[in-house]
Amino acid sequence: MGADSEGFLHRLQWRGVISVSNRFQFSIYDPERRTSFWIGINETRSGVSVASYDEDAGQVTLRHRDASRTFSLNRSSTRTGTVPEDASTERLRFSSLAREAKDAFDRGELEDAQLYAIELLALS
């Protein structure tokens, strides 16, 4: 079982991380199945759980059964920003939209590209 779990984790890709209300969500992509999913700390999706996250190092450790793997996020793809005070209501509206889109994606009602576009709007 260990080799299967290691192989499964090895093929996964960490695509990104977002933080909404101090809650981190990680985008994980499986190129073999051509599917992706978002997972938070203390959540399990497709048998995968987040074992730890080091924001300063840009690393997340995923666990699948008895195996674990640490992924590093490419710093050139990291984007941070601040929201002006007068934009807080708009930001909340877009954050809510992104959460609704994520839920629709989890139900199979949205494609990856649609979800990605909505998330970019929420982060801008």
**Domain spans, the chain:** 1-79, 81-124
Structure confidence by residue, pLDDT tens digits, 42-95: 899 888 999 999 988 889 999 998 899 999 976 544 455 554 555 444 444 555
pTM of the model: 0.58
Question: Which residues 6+ apart lie within 8 Å of 48 measured at CB?
Answer: 9, 12, 28, 39, 62, 63, 64
3-state secondary structure of 11: helix
Question: Which residues 6+ apart lie within 8 Å of 116 measured at CB?
Answer: none
> What is residue 21's predicted lDDT score, i.e. its pLDDT?
78
CATH class of 1-79: mainly beta
Integer Cα distance of 17 and 120 in angstroms: 12
Determine whether 60 is exposed, middle or buried from the number of CB atoms within 10 Å of its CB (0-12, 13-18, 19+).
buried
Structure confidence by residue, pLDDT tens digits, 31-40: 898 888 899 9
Q: Report the range of poorest mean pLDDT among 3-7, 21-25, 84-88.
A: 84-88
User: Does 23 score more than 60 pLDDT?
Assistant: yes
